[in-house]
Amino acid sequence: MAALKCPFCSSDDTRVVNSRPSDEGAAIRRRRECNVCHRRFTTYERAQFEALMVRKRSGRREVFDPDKLLAKLSIACNKRPITDKQLRGFAYGFEDDVSTPEIDSEEIGRRTLAFLKALDDVAYIRFLSVYRDFDSVDRFIEEIRQLGSNRGETTQPTLEQLAEESARDT
Ligand SMILES: [Zn+2]
């Protein structure tokens, strides 16, 4: 917590002499005394409600819900070598990496895809196929092709294997 300065002498050496809820619990009213000039003053401590808003393609807005994102991730990562902890870390930490009060749902999709791409190809493709709207099947195939061309080593599964596995599991 940032140092609280006395409004009279600007000392930050103050102490709470009593506190009680105010605004039906939405704020805490504290009576403080300055240890330097010994004058008393009142502070209000209020929790800030800053929900991240999601702008949907339809133009509708809704509050960002990490549980919803986690549910989608869990489906895409079903039986894949990705831990629950990794998914939770991403979903619950998501808001902390957004510096604007609002975000497009497409941007959430983009970031989620980038996260999955680094972890697991199958989960990535599943998420891509289910939650991202493509204007055409061609674009989807193109996306998978690009993923394949980024693969240098032959130890990675082939595109055919990925497609097969993705189709089997979903
Ligand atoms: Zn003072």
Q: 3-state secondary structure string, the chain?
A: CCCCCCCCCCCCCEEEEEEEEEHHHCEEEEEEEECCCCCEEEEEEECCCCCCEEECCCCCEEECCHHHHHHHHHHHCCCCCCCHHHHHHHHHHHHHHCCCCEEEHHHHHHHHHHHHHCCCHHHHHHHHHHHCCCCCHHHHHHHHHHHHHCCCCCCCCCHHHHHHHHHHHC
HSE-CB for 91 with a 13 A CA cutoff: 16
In the chain (170 residues long), the average pLDDT of successive 10-residue segments reads 78 87 70 93 74 88 90 93 93 87 89 93 86 60 70 52 57
Centre of ligand 1 to C-alpha 33, Å, is 8
Task: Tell me the sheet residues that pair with 62.
Answer: 54
Q: Determine the pLDDT at residue 18.
A: 82
The token pair that represents 134 in the structure block: 């493509």
Task: Tell me the sheet residues that pair with 31.
Answer: 18, 42
Whether pTM > 0.95 for this model: the answer is no
Centre of ligand 1 to C-alpha 2, Å, is 17
Q: Determine the pLDDT at residue 170.
A: 46
| Contacting residues for 70 by C-beta, under 8 A, at least 6 apart | 87, 88, 91, 92
Centre of ligand 1 to C-alpha 13, Å, is 8
Centre of ligand 1 to C-alpha 44, Å, is 18
